[in-house]
Amino acid sequence: MKIVNGISGDKSSRVVAWFFILGKYFYAFILQGLSLFTTFLVKRRLDKKKILTQYVEYE
Please state the domain extents for the chain: 34-58
Burial grade of 30 (CB within 10 A; 0-12, 13-18, 19 or more): exposed
- pTM as predicted: 0.45
- pLDDT at residue 1 in the model: 43
pLDDT tens string 7-57? 555 677 778 888 888 888 999 999 999 999 999 888 888 887 777 777 666
